[in-house]
Structure 1
Amino acid sequence: MEEGFTTWTSSTGSSYTCNHCGPLLMQEKQKKRHLRSAAHKRRLREQTNNENAPFPRGHNTSRSDANELQDQPPSPNEREIHCPDFDPDSASPTDSGCRRSSNDIALAIDGMIGNTYFEEESREEDNALPRQIDRTDWMEYEMERIRGELSLDEDDLVGSLLVGYTQNLVSRTLYDQIRSILNSLCHLKIPAWATVRRSQQRIRDHLNMEIKMKPSVWGMPCAALSSRVALQKELANPHVAPFIDFYPEDPQGRDQFKLSQSQKWLDLPSTIQPQMCINNTKHFYVFEPVQTSSNLIVVPLFFYTLNSELCAKCIIPTIQNPFRLVIPGSIHFGDPQLVVIKVKDFSEEYTSIKMNHQLLSTLCKDELFEHDEDNNQLHQIQLPNPWRTRAGGKIIRNMPITLYSDDTSGNVLKRWNKHVSFYFTLSGLPPRLSNQEFNCHFLTTSNRAGVLELSEMIIDELNSITTGGCEGYDVLISQPVLFTTSVLFFLGDSPMHAEITNTPLPNTSLNPCRMCSLSVTCQKQKHSKKYLREFLQLDQDGNPKSNPVRVWKKVIEASYDLFDIGFYSTLQEYERMAKFYGIKDHINEKMVAIV
């Protein structure tokens, strides 16, 4: 018998029970894990501290106590049921010189759960239940076993710390040298490089952190993690989820300190803004008629928080003949036509509103019309909101992100091994949390691809979450939800912004602004009064005069046009038109250089 364990042999092989933890059978490979478990160490410590104290009924006795009990004559009840108080220590087959058969073990278990075993306790308490295995101890042991399969022991942890992370990684040669020194001189057992890597891979697999490798459009290797998985984990993290703002906030010009108070979030397009809110278990969506507690029918267009209270900016629809609900088109957040209504005043959803004893959905034929004043046309909006169908009764969480890109190799290392990386933080977190390293999530990196090539690794997944949503678990309400995301801001230095926006660097460029159409045809014109006035956005009389802004749609069209010019025309013509458009597309430049 191995010290601390009792061996039980059956037709299927050998099993073991711990002398300190009770009749829990385990296999050979589970013994070492059991010895390392916190539950075993706690029981061993308690028995050591109380070895001179009397043991209560059912407690596992030590080896010496078990031998003394074997010398005592058994009671009549014990002779009747063979083994009334089943204890592996006191019934060890190796101590008695023989091994019990599987039938003997079965009889012992039957005796442990038999009715006669509990007769004495039944007399003391009429409602006493049969004594069973301690489920708390069993669950604790199982959790320790599962945790042992996923976590690192002390040696693996030391090895993982030696390997390092991000910018502090050590080479395999250096790791082997440090390992040999510590193992030989300090008598440690630092695992090999491959063992540490397997332990880290096991943790990544458990967290569903799969590293995706994919070549870029130019064949450069790129590595990426899933943005969907990262957002799911943030939503389910009890240390993060309580601090996320899912709705923008209107600070009214006071106490502005976080991104959820930005005007950009308030003015998001209708397709990516917060789509729904909840009141009294009822779900209310934007661009769906809502009936308030005062029987007023409105159409909410924006959900936001005001003075820490969820509100909606709504428009009162006009009813035309034949029955039509019409609202003005192209309304922004600050439009004076909007009415502010608290969400707690919402009463009836669109599908349950009645007018003249008829459902509103029947009267309007599930159609809402938006009036375009410029063209004097009506644009149809289908009811109910498509997001209601996609959600399937779940709450929708809006989680915009702040995307960040830069070369993360450092000013020295990037000379020969430059890594361009993408990271993101949740825009709904306050700065004191979003600035923490553990809330900054890695997305993709490459030491050979540019930022535009890398962006291909994350665009498709982000777009799918934006347009269709993704299921997650909200720890605040303890139920599955549907979450959406969008890139609210992109952060980077000036060269990174220039590459992302397909614009030249502003220092000596003829088109120095990324926001407006400020431009000159030659460098000499930068010293003229006309250029200075346009730079300051003033007219000849010194009054403010804004320059025409750049339109992203036109930038895309110009990039396509430059591709055609570079492919079918000359390099000189490509360079001339690039200056005319104020466009510098790195993908197009590589293509033209190859052609």
Structure 2
Amino acid sequence: MKAILWVMEECGTPDVPSLTALRALQNKLVSNIGLKTESHTSSLGNHFCMNNPAQLFAMDWANPLVREHMNIYPEITNKVSEPWQAGKWAKDTDLDLLSPMWADPIKAPHQHFYIKEIARLCSGQYIIPMRWVKFNKQLYAEACDVVYNSEMPNPIRQAAGGRHAYTLFISPWCDDVSGNVSKQFNPHVNMYLANNSLPHQKLAQEFFVRFCSTSPHASSSEQLDALSSKMKPDVWHPAYDCVLKEEIIFRIIPYTFPANNPQQSETCSHIGMHGNFFCHRCTVGGSATEKETSEGYQALFKPGNARTCGETLGVVEKQLWTACLGVQETVDALQSMTGVKDKIASFWIDKCIIKAREIQNEHISNVTTHDPRLNKKTLKGDARKAVKADIVQSIQHEVFDWLLTQPAERYDALPIDSSMRTHLRPGDHYNPVLAMPGVDIHKDTPVEILHTYLLGQDKYVWYATHNEWDERKQTIFTTRLQSSSIDGLTLPSVRAKYMVQYKNALVGRHFKTLQQLGIFHLYGDLCSNLIFDLWRATGELGAYLWFYEISDMDTYLADMEILIESVLDIWALIDPARIIQKPKLHTLPHILQDIRRFGPPILFATEIFECWNVVFRLCSVLSNHHAPSRDIAMTLADMERFKHQVSGGWWKDSNGEYVQAGEKVRKFLQENAKLQRRLGWVSKNILKIGSVKLLPKKKQTSKMWCELSDNDAAEPLPMGQLWQLATYCVSRSQDVCREGSWDLNVTCGRIRKIVVPETLARTCSGGIALIETFRVLSTAHERLNMPILLRSSDTPAVTPVKTMDILFLFNAQHDCTQGNCGATGWRSVHQERQTTSLQERCIVHEDDDRFILNMHALHNAALIRDVLPRSLTKPQRYLSNRSSKLNEISESLRISGPAKRAESAAKAAETRARNKRAREAQNITQAAIQMAAEDVDDSVNVAEQGNQYGLDSTMYLA
């Protein structure tokens, strides 16, 4: 910033402020907005700073670009595409945690109707509303007759003081992130927030990610403890509603906790994925021997008994009580037996064990200070053991009573008559989310598809495939993959050479490419039949996971269950121990519960938070690293202030009036694409259905129909007019369709040209697409299990279709196995947006008549399955006799498993023995060198000892 100001001065810019003056103005503006960076001290003693989440979300209410998209009430609908339409919000959430009131903003904005209060209908009937819901885009009250005994008026009415009162559901995201751009890891634990009242289309933009806190010291549990004080049902926060043009109050309730698998384990007070009980959602697992039994093995293929917050909390409390005995092994055994390990509790467990041992040493072991009862010489045997046990028990109570008073400053702040003085407290002694209202943390940490599927299942199948390849096979796959058609896939350019060269270092976007395209190129000797079947099952399941809308929840989940079973069953046939070694595979069946509870999996994906880490890293790199938590939080608070003001948000000025930035400042964001891109904002760019884009003016020429259509298609009425070529048209699904794109309309085919009559050339409101017609065969491809597209022979070769009638794009790949496309040709290499003289190999297709509709494509996956016959899309089970087959596999595993463990134990013992011999030999060598200078004879004796370890004795006599 200082350099920028200097450049402005050198350029002669008038009235350039000093850096001090600029920072002072920025701080003043942040203060005016009301966004504060607060300092917190966790129960473990770590210091960190946090931007007040209530003030962050208050800006959403006051921002017209955000407020218009916010949804406050649950919605009852058959189609599920947003959080408020899914099971938790629409069915399972406690009525008292939903938005408690409604008012007609036009007819009676100040007449507030609260739930559980008597109300009168227009008909004169009296009812009691229980909750407010949306149905068919209208707001309704679910009510009961006036026989309900409830507290009236609603206590929230008094807290509101005449203001509207709403509930805001949010999703906190936590993870460890490097503060460096380089490979040197600089660990920080970050927490970002998302407003679940916004549609997914908005939450997928970086503009709507709210930074809350970061710390190189405090864990996510400690930061969530600071956040929890703002997320209580009875804690209300003021905000200005720019739609109502008045002040409201709102409360913050957590909805989901999206994160990767290790972070979700920590959030759930779980031991992690390397424990015997490796699932943070259920109690499935056990020792290796238990998992190899028929019952234990088959249990891994489905969700087990669900963990609950109450049970987890009970185990944590038991661990803390046990730690007061001073025996670490007992606590470790409890953690291993239950899979419960709490981050905050572990800190106090260590403290309690140390303190208990110190007191036990004083009262039992130390002769001068031990309990007087132990001085009796007649006290022996069982009687003496009983006394010691009594002492240990009293010490346990003493240490536990001490624990209740920790941390001392928090204990002292409690009211003297508070019951919390005699109980373990959330946040102080254990994970605060275990006691959060409205949260069942084991259910509310949904399966995350980036790390569980792309970096889990996709990564496993990719490694199992390329691990067997030699140089020839790698070259073949590279050439085939690079020749793929990506039209209709919304993928970046395929970098096949890079993906094969760095095959063990791929990231999510690479696996998205492989998941959608890889199976088309695995013919010949590139993989076994089972591996190929695994690719097919992986691609089919992947397409379902990226549905953006679910129109029939029951059918969708039934299909998903079959697809997940197929993936797991094929793995069991390939490697029976894989599901034991890779807990992410067991996690897949849990996603069925998550989809019913939260909606399509992309709603709780974490890619946008991972992308936002770039913003955090820049703030970290540009800080002085003396107080990173404070500096980064303040920098990002200033960014939030800027975003709020430049996007037209309202704030209270020094006179107590709500104001917003001037019109020119607000237009700065709306009209400046560069600023939008830097803030992560995507402006409204709604494409008009059926519209077209003409060629550039220099290339525009008017031609007759016969010249453009090559006489392959009948001329539409009116005949004889002039036409112009277009570069693309917009389908009903708002896909951009170009020449060569595959689309579905009244026919199925590939666009040859897009033409526009001169009468519509000025408005570009519509045109004609000349489509090469293909028919969809009634039977699927035998190997790929995908629909076959065959050039139609009983219809015209090219069919003119109005651009308004094009439904959506899809991806199709040439059927190279049927066409025997084994030959390779050459094509020019493009570099720096230019065609070079270099050549690269590519596949030459022998025909242009037979293609495969790509059912592994993520784009429009739901639309494709809605249009095609169910017979072509219905999933089929891989194993018909699943239970008996898994039982047979577990029997083989009970033979191979112990043998492998014995082999591993023998290798480990051999390694330890070898390392021990090496250490002893090194000690002898050092002794020989030291003694050689004093006495040659002694060194000879030592050298003789060295011969026992296979060492050359002459080295000691040199």
Aligned length: 346
Partners in 2 of 1:547 and 1:531 — Cα distance?
10
Partners in 2 of 1:221 and 1:191 — Cα distance?
34
Deviation at 1:583, TM superposition (A): 0.6
Task: Report if aligned partners of 1:227, 1:462 keep a CA contact under 8 Å in 2.
Answer: no
Instruction: Select the residue among 267, 270, 275 that pairs with 1:509.
Output: 275
Q: 4+ residue runs of structure 1 moved beyond 4 angstroms? A: 182-196, 410-416
State the partner residue of 1:268.
93
AA partner of residue 350 (structure 2):
A
Partners in 2 of 1:587 and 1:389 — Cα distance?
37
Task: Report if aligned partners of 1:298, 1:315 keep a CA contact under 8 Å in 2.
Answer: yes
State the partner residue of 1:277.
102
Deviation at 1:385, TM superposition (A): 1.6
Whether 1:498 aligns to 2:290 is: no
Partners in 2 of 1:569 and 1:553 — Cα distance?
25
Residues 468, 185 of structure 1: CA spacing in aligned structure 2 closer, same or farther, 3 A cutoff?
closer
State the partner residue of 2:83.
259
Instruction: Select the residue among 55, 59, 74 that pairs with 1:248.
Output: 74
Whether 1:535 aligns to 2:360 is: no
AA partner of residue 268 (structure 1):
T
State the partner residue of 1:424.
193
Deviation at 1:553, TM superposition (A): 1.9
Residues 515, 295 of structure 1: CA spacing in aligned structure 2 closer, same or farther, 3 A cutoff?
farther
State the partner residue of 2:284.
518
Residues 557, 533 of structure 1: CA spacing in aligned structure 2 closer, same or farther, 3 A cutoff?
same
State the partner residue of 2:65.
239
Partners in 2 of 1:401 and 1:584 — Cα distance?
26
Partners in 1 of 2:62 and 2:211 — Cα distance?
18
Instruction: Select the residue among 222, 228, 236 that pairs with 1:459.
Output: 228
State the partner residue of 1:209.
35
The alignment partner of 1:562 has SS state of: helix
Q: Deviations over 1:370-425 (max 9, x none)?
A: xxxxxxxxxxx322221122222222122211211123436866854212111112
Deviation at 1:191, TM superposition (A): 6.5
Consecutive unaligned residues of structure 2, counting only runs of 5 or more, are: 355-958
AA partner of residue 336 (structure 2):
K
Residues 235, 498 of structure 1: CA spacing in aligned structure 2 closer, same or farther, 3 A cutoff?
same
Task: Report if aligned partners of 1:444, 1:457 keep a CA contact under 8 Å in 2.
Answer: no
Residues 480, 191 of structure 1: CA spacing in aligned structure 2 closer, same or farther, 3 A cutoff?
closer
Residues 294, 535 of structure 1: CA spacing in aligned structure 2 closer, same or farther, 3 A cutoff?
farther
The alignment partner of 2:244 has SS state of: coil
Point out which structure has higher relative CO (alpha carbons under 8 A, 6+ apart).
Answer: 2
Instruction: Select the residue among 287, 307, 312 that pairs with 2:141.
Output: 312
State the partner residue of 2:238.
471
Deviation at 1:587, TM superposition (A): 1.7
Q: Deviations over 1:222-269 (max 9, x none)?
A: 1111112112211011111111001121222x2x32222222112211
Instruction: Select the residue among 46, 51, 62 that pairs with 1:220.
Output: 46
Q: Pairwise mapping of residues 16-35 of structure 1 onto structure 2 (< 5 A)?
A: none
AA partner of residue 54 (structure 2):
R
Partners in 2 of 1:412 and 1:511 — Cα distance?
36
Q: Pairwise mapping of residues 10-409 of structure 1 onto structure 2 (< 5 A)?
A: 159=1, 182=7, 194-252=20-78, 254=79, 256-266=80-90, 267-279=92-104, 280-281=107-108, 282-316=111-145, 325-326=147-148, 368=149, 381-409=150-178
AA partner of residue 270 (structure 1):
L
Partners in 1 of 2:74 and 2:341 — Cα distance?
34
Task: Report if aligned partners of 2:272, 2:339 keep a CA contact under 8 Å in 1.
Answer: no
Partners in 2 of 1:285 and 1:414 — Cα distance?
55
AA partner of residue 472 (structure 1):
A
Residues 184, 430 of structure 1: CA spacing in aligned structure 2 closer, same or farther, 3 A cutoff?
closer
Instruction: Select the residue among 317, 330, 338 that pairs with 1:573.
Output: 330
Whether 1:558 aligns to 2:334 is: no
Deviation at 1:195, TM superposition (A): 4.9
Task: Report if aligned partners of 2:237, 2:251 keep a CA contact under 8 Å in 1.
Answer: yes
Task: Report if aligned partners of 2:271, 2:335 keep a CA contact under 8 Å in 1.
Answer: no
Which is higher, the Rg of structure 1 or of structure 2? Answer: 1
AA partner of residue 244 (structure 1):
M
Task: Report if aligned partners of 1:232, 1:473 keep a CA contact under 8 Å in 2.
Answer: yes
State the partner residue of 1:483.
250
Residues 196, 561 of structure 1: CA spacing in aligned structure 2 closer, same or farther, 3 A cutoff?
farther
| Sequence identity (%) | 21
Between 1:384-393 and 1:410-419, the stretch displaced more is 410-419
The alignment partner of 2:255 has SS state of: strand
Task: Report if aligned partners of 1:394, 1:482 keep a CA contact under 8 Å in 2.
Answer: yes
The alignment partner of 1:568 has SS state of: coil
Between 1:298-307 and 1:237-246, the stretch displaced more is 298-307
Q: Deviations over 1:129-180 (max 9, x none)?
A: xxxxxxxxxxxxxxxxxxxxxxxxxxxxxx2xx7xxxxxxxxxxxx6xx877
Deviation at 1:204, TM superposition (A): 2.0
Deviation at 1:432, TM superposition (A): 2.0
The alignment partner of 1:277 has SS state of: strand
Task: Report if aligned partners of 2:172, 2:191 keep a CA contact under 8 Å in 1.
Answer: yes
AA partner of residue 483 (structure 1):
F
Partners in 2 of 1:216 and 1:468 — Cα distance?
21
State the partner residue of 1:321.
none
Q: Deviations over 1:64-86 (max 9, x none)?
A: xxxxxxxxxxxxxxxxxxxxxxx
State the partner residue of 1:43.
none
Consecutive unaligned residues of structure 1, counting only runs of 5 or more, are: 1-158, 163-174, 318-324, 327-367, 369-380, 538-545
State the partner residue of 2:535.
none
The alignment partner of 1:510 has SS state of: coil
Root-mean-square deviation (CA, aligned residues, Å) is 2.7
Partners in 1 of 2:19 and 2:120 — Cα distance?
65
Partners in 1 of 2:283 and 2:304 — Cα distance?
7
Deviation at 1:273, TM superposition (A): 1.2
AA partner of residue 424 (structure 1):
L
Partners in 2 of 1:455 and 1:391 — Cα distance?
27
Partners in 2 of 1:414 and 1:209 — Cα distance?
34
The alignment partner of 1:419 has SS state of: strand
The alignment partner of 1:455 has SS state of: helix
Residues 236, 588 of structure 1: CA spacing in aligned structure 2 closer, same or farther, 3 A cutoff?
same
Partners in 2 of 1:195 and 1:420 — Cα distance?
33
Partners in 1 of 2:20 and 2:260 — Cα distance?
38
Partners in 1 of 2:9 and 2:253 — Cα distance?
54
